[in-house]
Amino acid sequence: MPQNIDGKAISAQIKEELKEKVADLKISRGISICLAVIQVGSDPASSVYVGNKKKACAYIGIDSRSYELPEETTQEELLQLIDKLNNEEEVNGILVQLPLPAQIDEDVVIRAIDPRKDVDGFHPQSVGALCIGQPGFVSCTPAGIIQLLKRSGIEIAGRECVIIGRSNIVGKPMALLILRENATVTIAHSRTENLREVTRRADILIVATGKPKMITREYVKEGAVVIDVGIHRNEAGKLCGDVDYEDVAPVCSAITPVPGGVGPMTIAMLMNNCVEAGIAGR
């Protein structure tokens, strides 16, 4: 059987480390960290994500402030709130839960967040900094995948890595991060020709297509490491990823399960970004 890349255990380990760090910052330097979480409307999935983020904050010792705005909130009202939070010294991180209702332009909202408080790492300044190798916040899911690989003892440098997906929040920052770790990187997408030939080159295959169980063993080189970013719920309420786990697991050397792989890492890395924001802000 392949090595199970245990995101649940690794994220718990990171949260423990952060909890100690936050307690130490409070005692030794009098620093408290505060995350402001804004949700517009009451999309049930968003409410679950926001609830989980608040729970993680409470566990680690980060103060969280919650702003629950009605569905009909205007862009101007949201921008005013962001401006207020940008100027509040005690707020270290600002997170606007996406997606936003149709009347609000997400790009405008992301750009309005002070890059020093951009704990999601979505601001163009954060993305630009990542691109040219300067310090800045990194999108949490790709940052979590790097931690998964490193903490599972998987060598990255010099290896062939193929990422399927080129979204701004997963595929592109993933490619930049893994390049920073000295992998040789290919980004595949829906217009890639001969996808199987491309993916079969990968020592590390990272799948973020948003297509349930799309990746079967025909796409995977024997002995590859497979990271599944996807998360879907089928009609029976069971979770699955973009990779057909049962089919692929026997041919790879290591694989992330869904649930319990990449998913738990996103919040752990968000908490890490909040702690970094808190330290940088003093």
- Pick 169 or 252: Cβ nearer ligand NDP: 169
Whether the CB-CB separation of 263 and 170 falls below 8 Å is answered with no
Residue 66 Rama label (left phi>0; alpha psi -120 to 50; beta): beta
Residue whose token pair is 């796409």: 219
Task: State the nearest-atom distance from the C-beta of 261 to ligand NDP, in Å.
Answer: 8
Among 36, 62, 164, 175, binds ligand NDP (CB under 6 A): 164
Among 91, 100, 208, 243, binds ligand NDP (CB under 6 A): 208
86-96 CB burial, b ≥16 within 10 A, e <16: beeeebbbbbb
**Tokens coding 197:** 């030939």
- Pick 31 or 214: Cβ nearer ligand NDP: 214
* Start-end of H helices in the chain: 7-29, 44-60, 75-86, 106-112, 124-131, 140-151, 171-180, 195-199, 245-248, 263-280
Pattern of binders to ligand NDP over 117-156, x per CB under 6 A?
------------------------x---------------
Window 223 to 282, contacts with ligand NDP (CB under 6 A): 229-231, 242, 262-263, 266
Q: Is the bond preceding residue 259 a cis peptide, omega within 30 degrees? A: yes
- According to the binding rule CB under 6 A, does residue 191 interact with ligand NDP? yes
Q: How many residues bind ligand NDP (CB under 6 A)?
A: 25
Respond yes or no: is residue 6 known to be catalytic. Answer: no
Single out the catalytic residue among 15, 53, 172, 221.
53
- Pick 116 or 263: Cβ nearer ligand NDP: 263
Respond yes or no: is residue 120 known to be catalytic. Answer: yes
Question: Element (H or E) spanning 31, and its range?
Answer: none
Q: Is the bond preceding residue 99 a cis peptide, omega within 30 degrees? A: yes
Window 52 to 71, contacts with ligand NDP (CB under 6 A): none
Position 94: which residue type?
I
- According to the binding rule CB under 6 A, does residue 170 interact with ligand NDP? yes
* 204 DSSP 8-state letter: E
- According to the binding rule CB under 6 A, does residue 171 interact with ligand NDP? yes
Please identify every residue annotated as catalytic: 53, 97, 120
Site residues, ligand NDP (CB under 6 A) = 141, 164-167, 169-171, 188-192, 195, 208-211, 229-231, 242, 262-263, 266
